[in-house]
Structure 1
Amino acid sequence: MNASEASKIYDHAIEVLQENDLGTYTVPTRGLYPFQWNWDSCLTALGQSHYDEARAWTEIETLFAHQWPDGMVPHIVFHVWNDGYFPGPDVWQTGRPTPTSGITQPPVAAFAVRRLFERAKDKELAVRHASALLPKIDAWHRWFYANRDPHGEGLVAILHPWESGRDNSVDWDEAFERVPTAGIDPYTRRDTQHADPAHRPTKEQYDRYLWLVQHFRALGWDNSKLHDASPFQVIDPGFNAILIRGCSDLAALAETLGEPEIAQANRARAEMGLAALEGLWSDQHGQYLCLDRTTGTLIDSASIGGILPVFGGVPKDRAHEIARGIERQAGGVRFLVPSHDPADPRFEAKRYWRGPAWLVMNYMIADGLQAIGETEVAGHIVRSSLELIAQSGFAEYYDPLTGEPCGGGRFTWTAAMVIEFLKQAER
């Protein structure tokens, strides 16, 4: 990609971010996702910071303004009424002053805040905002280990596939079968009105998603009860890697800002998590696997969730083996990184998290690989990401075999990651 092409793509990416900007928060894309999503916002702030640092800080602060008293940061904040998305606040019924969902999402906030802080041009602004966010992010991390790791094993469970951010991954299939569908309220999906149904989760999966929401709602969204009451308890190595990285980043930030207690607590969490993650390693697959906490068994599913631990700072020998696995996958697809192993018969190139490539995943994986010296594989991932943009625009995700754009269009976090990739190339 020459300088002129890169400049055009960069300007287009900013245009996408700005058109989805509602002043104090961004929506992932108009129509399909009309509210504020947790990890979307944190990753979006990285892109915003390159042209408006103050706006980037506001994005994350708006999210944390709706943190629950127990420390949880919900996965959706319903700032305004909109009937274009299901399930809306009338289904969640969480009772918050501003309606929110009742579950969480991958905790990328600490990573994003540290990165914003370290590259800030306005240092005074950065110190002020990072200092205010520090205890809030620490409370969220503490919440995870208190409510999702009740036996102190070092790894947290997700209780709903939506929490992983990888809603319909092959990883969840077997454990998800334990979730009943009887007694769910009648509903009408909205997502299939905005995107091809063949690219979205199935109706059977949606029935189970809704059963869990109703089950947790009946328990009053009491996070001290939800873990043990859930028939779905899965330890996702990708989710835990993001949390581990977040704890490490928050510890470093806390040391810089003169908060040694927060630094110590988060460093201990990260160390405990990294040690426990080793139990999820699969020699057969050359990557990490999910663990079904209910049965105590590893889930035989080689997804991107088991590649993502390179972002969390796993041992170099593990990260190098994962890099070799990505190189093998590159022989079977045109574009990296597929969200499921293309050699698996369950791979679906266009269906959401069962095969497509996502730029946010590419960004985190490339970041982890770059840190351990796997610069060639990291560079391949970045080039592949930018080729997808040049060919297919700013889609939600892409068919890794053809590059076809899938899901929503003019997608905010895709544009933010493109800005990140282009800026990194300048350095």
Structure 2
Amino acid sequence: MTTLLNRPAPTASAALTLRSGAARVLFDNWTGTSTVPSRTLYPHQWSWDSAFIAIGLRHLSVRRAQQELESLLAGQWTDGRIPHIVFNPAVPHDAYFPSPDFWQSSRAGRAAGAPAGQETSGIVQPPVHALAAWLVHQADPEESRRRGFLARVQPRLAAWHDYLVTRRDLGGAGLAAVVHPWEPGMDNSPCWDAALQRVAPAPPETFQRADLDHGHPAERPTDLDYGRYVRLATDYRDAGYDDATAPRSFAVEDPTFNALLVVSELALAALTEELGGRSAPHTTRAAELTHRMVTRLWDEDSGLFRVRDLHDDTLVDERSVTGLIPLIVPDLPDHVVAGLRRTLDGPHFKAQGTRLVPSYDLMAPAFDPTRYWRGPAWFNTAWLIHRGLRTHGYHQDAHRLKREYLTQAGASGFAEYLDPVTGAARGASRFSWTAALALDLLHHAPEEPTP
């Protein structure tokens, strides 16, 4: 079998074809103000999707990449949170569930600062946004300065981070917690199974799933798990989305969520300094978050970061890609970096023998190569790990993963995710972040190692 080790780099003509195809996906998924993840399954604007999309769009149109982020930030709440969905009012409510009439943000979230004229969800997603904003600025600094891009987004990004490190420090140890499996972005991961057992599912007759209209049931969360997701969202909504008073049936500290907060704090420091402000508060916060993440979530024996369940303040005994992505954090201790590198190529993930990086432990009983986040390999997580490998000087490994990404993105038709063993495309096709991050990787000549 051709492996990541010996798969050839794309030729120049293949790279051009891939670039054109990726650009076409983003153009086709553009709504006029933002980009949908896919035209079928996800017809609104998603939070971390738009951050990844902006990272790729900057290579096509800096102006459109700026608009992508500012469109999302227009839905920000006054308490600082950036909601995980900003709804398009032109899309029928039955096209996606949970729909605006479920979240009721402008009414139920009024006290928490939800915008009155824009319907959103009430939960959040990983904070990639400051990193995206800084990369968009760097793509054309003169255009960014001329349009005042950083000056507009910096206060909003600072408020977003403040929300996470204050209102979401539910464990009292300085890390941001998530209160719903949809918040860390890895919705159906086995890392949430134990915590979800404590959640009574909403009765199936009280909601109608729309995701099964466009996805095979064998690839999507089960009805039981979906009922639990609905229960958690309902309880949070009925508490007015108030993090101080809402029930905490589900509250965990997730490694990827906090690692992205570290990296985005460093990006916020850079863009604050660009504006003539003080970067020190953000670099200090990044250092503190890094220390707390290592102290609370690093598991030396398994060589990866683990999720911490705040219900009993214990580490969850599951190996997931969320525990590898903190490789993107630049100032990790040397022994942590070395441990992550070993785990990435070890038997649980076999990064050199599978397509991309599986989302879950290949050796675990719950591994499923086709079901959402319980095994499939995702393109955005591969991009993050590629960035982490580059950050810590593993350039040869990063180049191999880059080649694999570009090969699989083209072969799959820019699929949402893949079977990590066979490479079969899964989920939605012509998926925006897959195309956007392919453009980012193609920005460097595909035959050259990434610097």
TM-score normalised by the chain length of structure 2: 0.90
Matched to 1:221, the amino acid is: Y
The change in CA–CA distance for 1:172 and 1:149 in structure 2 (over 3 A counts) is: same
Query: How far 1:317 moved relative to its partner?
Result: 2.8
1:368 corresponds to which residue? Answer: 388
Deviation at 1:127, TM superposition (A): 6.6
Give the alignment partner of residue 46 of structure 1, picking from 35, 40, 55. 55
- Aligned 8 A contact 2:356 2:379 in 1: no
Q: Does 1:78 align with 2:87?
A: yes
Q: Is the 8 A contact 1:117 1:126 kept in 2?
A: no
Q: How far 1:217 moved relative to its partner?
A: 1.4
Deviations 1:206-250 (A, max 9, x none): 000000111011112223323xx2110110011110111111110
* CA RMSD, 1 decimal: 1.6
Equivalences for 1:30-69 in 2 at 5 Å? 30-69=39-78
Instruction: Within 5 Å, give how 1:107-122 maps onto structure 2.
Output: 107-120=127-140, 122=142
CA positional deviation for 1:125: 4.2
Match of 2:112 in 1: none
How is 1:255-270 mapped onto 2 (pairs within 5 angstroms)?
A: 255-260=273-278, 263-270=279-286
1:403 to 400, 423, 431: 423
Return the offset for 1:205.
0.7
1:323/1:377 contact within 8 Å kept: no
Q: CA deviation at 1:283?
A: 2.0
Shift of 1:327: 1.7
TM-superposed deviation, 1:382: 1.1
- Equivalenced residue count is 423
Aligned partners of 1:133 and 1:114: how far apart in 2?
10
Partner-residue secondary structure (3-state), 2:105: coil
Per the alignment, residue 111 of structure 2 pairs with: none
Structure-2 separation of matches of 1:183 and 1:46: 40
Distance 2:277 2:64 in 1: 25
Distance in 2, Cα, partners of 1:39 & 1:331: 24
Q: Where do residues 9-408 of structure 1 align in structure 2 (5 Å cutoff)? A: 9-80=18-89, 81-82=91-92, 83-95=94-106, 96-120=116-140, 122-125=142-145, 128-150=148-170, 152-181=172-201, 186-226=206-246, 229-260=247-278, 263-278=279-294, 279-313=296-330, 314-328=332-346, 329-330=349-350, 333-408=353-428
Separation (CA, whole Å) in 2 of partners of 1:126 and 1:315: 40
The whole-number CA distance in structure 2 between the counterparts of 1:58 and 1:354 is 33
Cα displacement string for residues 233-287 of structure 1 (whole angstroms, at most 9, x for unaligned residues)? 1100111101111111101221121111xx2332222111111111211122111
Give me the TM-score of the superposition, normalised by structure 1: 0.95
Separation in structure 2 between the aligned mates of residue 196 and residue 390 of structure 1, nearest angstrom: 22
Q: Using the TM superposition, name which of 178-187 and 246-255 deviates more.
A: 178-187
| Of 133-142 and 247-256, the range deviating more from structure 2 | 247-256
Q: Show CA shifts across 1:333-355 (max 9, x none).
A: 43121101212121111111111
- The answer (yes or no) to whether the contact 2:345–2:352 under 8 Å persists in 1 is no
Counterpart code for 1:12: G
Distance 1:182 1:189, change over 3 A: closer
8 A contact 2:415–2:430 mirrored in 1: yes
CA distance in structure 2 between the aligned counterparts of 1:386 and 1:342, rounded to whole angstroms = 23
Asked if 2 retains the 8 angstrom alpha-carbon contact of 1:330 and 1:336, the reply is: no
Contact 1:154-1:269 at 8 Å conserved across structures = no
Alignment-mate amino acid for residue 270 of structure 1: A
Query: C-alpha distance in 1, partners of 2:159/2:205?
Result: 34
Q: What displacement does 1:184 show?
A: 7.1
Which residue identity does 2:291 align to in structure 1?
A
Q: 1:4 aligns with which of 13, 17, 21?
A: 13
After TM superposition, give the deviation of residue 115 of structure 1 in Å.
1.0
Q: SS at the partner of 1:63?
A: helix
CA distance in 2, matches of 1:26, 1:248: 26
User: In structure 1, which of residues 401, 415, 419 is the aligned counterpart of residue 439 of structure 2?
Assistant: 419
CA distance in 2, matches of 1:124, 1:204: 47
Greater shift in the superposed pair: 126-135 or 357-366: 126-135
Structure 1 alignment gaps of length 5 or more: none
